[in-house]
Amino acid sequence: MIVRILGEGQLEVADSALAELNELDAKLESAVERGDEAGFSAALAALLGRVREIGTPADPDTLAPSALILPQADATMADVHDLLSDDGLIPG
Amino acid sequence: MAAMYLYEGMVAPMGVMKRVQLVFRAKANKALDRMEDPRETLDLSYQTQLELLQKVRRGVADVATSRKRIELQINQLQQGSDKLDRQARDALGSGREDLAREALTRKAGVQSQLGDLQTQYEGLQAEEEKLTNASQRLQAKVDAFRTRKETIKATYTAAEAQTRINEAFTGISEEMGDVGMAIQRAEDKTEQMKARAGALDELMASGALEDAVGGPRDDIQAELDRIGASTGVDGELERMKLELAQGSTPQLEAGAASAEPAHVVDQQAGDAQ
């Protein structure tokens, strides 16, 4: 599957990694629910680190949409909140 | 909507990464739905892509300009700091600890500005690199899209084209969304940086930092010059006193009087060194 890290591009990640990534993502999610900014940063760093570790950069010519999209490394909870809101950050 | 899930937890939990992906997908789908003829979608989208490429390149240039401006200010402040350091040494050498302290206090102020600027400089460098990479990624995708677009148009049969168009469009739309946000972030940072650089320029021009960066109203240097001058005056006074003192004795030893002028010239030459 293809995973995008915002600001960095797309990576090819084995489908078998999905369960592991979901676990890391759940920590990110729960940090957001608790309003725990430090926990959020740590969970995001762990998730991004793992994706970079097991992923290989996707062919730059690929036009395939990603299965999962991760916030950029320096994202805050507010950034993610904006990203997910209806009139969010994504232009166009 | 998605933000609501975030804070109220009323809906079955879904990971952050899937939700972000859905937001991107929804944007692309909305744009696709607006188009009647899929081929029109391709051409219009390509136009937008080229515009975005232009924009990201301008963004890179903007960040580079800001970075160079900060670089210039860093150099100016560094020179100012070096100069204050020299002045502190000169002042200490003249036994003026108060003046040396003033110079070092100013140097500390300049150093703190410098530290700030260094951090900003590194931030801009990182931003520039990110945007440059984004620009290259987008370029590769836009090229791929153009090829795909021509192929689809040449072999167009409505039913089959629709899915291929959707995929290409969704893929490029995701990249454009990502790059668009990167540009936005870079613009925000560049704006902040411009404001700060402008404020620092004003500060330098107003004289608050001028003394440190070699402006005309350098009071520490003026004081040092004054000390230098007064040291010279004191020295000269001493010499004159000595000469007068010596000048009053030769009457007792008339034989030494002819040698006196040469002695004075020697002493002055020695002092001048």
Q: Which residues contact A62 (CB under 8 A, 6 or more apart)?
A: A2, A10, B141, B144, B171
Neighbouring residues of B166: CB distance < 8 A, sequence distance ≥ 6: B32
For tokens 């990576």, what's the residue? A11
Say which residue, B235 or A40, is predicted with more confidence.
Answer: A40
Q: What is the pLDDT of residue A58?
A: 94
Task: Tell me how far apart the alpha carbons of residues A91 and B210 are, in angstroms, rounded to a whole number.
Answer: 44
Does residue B207 come out as left (phi exceeding 0), alpha (psi in the -120 to 50 range) or beta? left
Note the pLDDT of residue A42. Answer: 96
Distance, CA of B174 to CA of A63 (rounded, Å): 9
Q: What is the pLDDT of residue B270?
A: 47
Q: Which candidate from B15, B167, B178 shows the least CB-CB separation from A6?
A: B178
Residue B209 confidence (pLDDT): 63
Asked if residues A64 and A2 have their Cβ atoms less than 8 Å apart, the reply is: yes
Chain A residues in contact with B145 by the CB 8 A cut-off are 63
- Calculate mean pLDDT across residues A59-71: 92
Does residue A41 surpass a pLDDT of 90?
yes
List the single residue in B1, B25, B130 with the smallest CB-CB distance to A86. Answer: B1
**Helix intervals (H) in B94-218:** 97-154, 158-206
Averaged pLDDT, A68-88: 85
Could you tell me which of B102, B257, B133, A88 has the C-alpha nearest to residue A69?
A: A88
At B176, the amino acid letter reads M
Nearest C-alpha of chain A: how many angstroms from B13?
A: 9
Can you tell me the mean pLDDT for A52-75? 93
- Do residues B64 and B127 lie in contact, with contact meaning Cβ atoms separated by under 8 Å? no
Residue A16: pLDDT band by 50, 70, 90 thresholds? very high
Q: What is the largest CA-CA distance in chain A?
A: 40
Tell me what ipTM this predicted complex has.
Answer: 0.87
Phi first, then psi: what are they for B15, rounded to 5°? -60, 155
Residue from A69, A72, A79 to probe the interface with B (highest B Cβ count within 10 Å): A69
Which of B1, B10, B17, B181 best tests the A interface by mutation, with the highest count of A CBs <10 A?
A: B17
Kindly give the parts of chain B with pLDDT less than 70.
1-13, 156, 158, 206-217, 232, 248-273
**A76 has a chain B CB within 8 A of its CB:** no
Average pLDDT of chain A to the nearest whole number: 90
- Give backbone dihedrals phi and psi of B234, rounded to 5 degrees, phi first: -60, -45
Report the alpha-carbon distance of residue B97 to residue B79 in Å, rounded.
22
Measured distance CA(B45)–CA(A88) in Å, rounded? 21
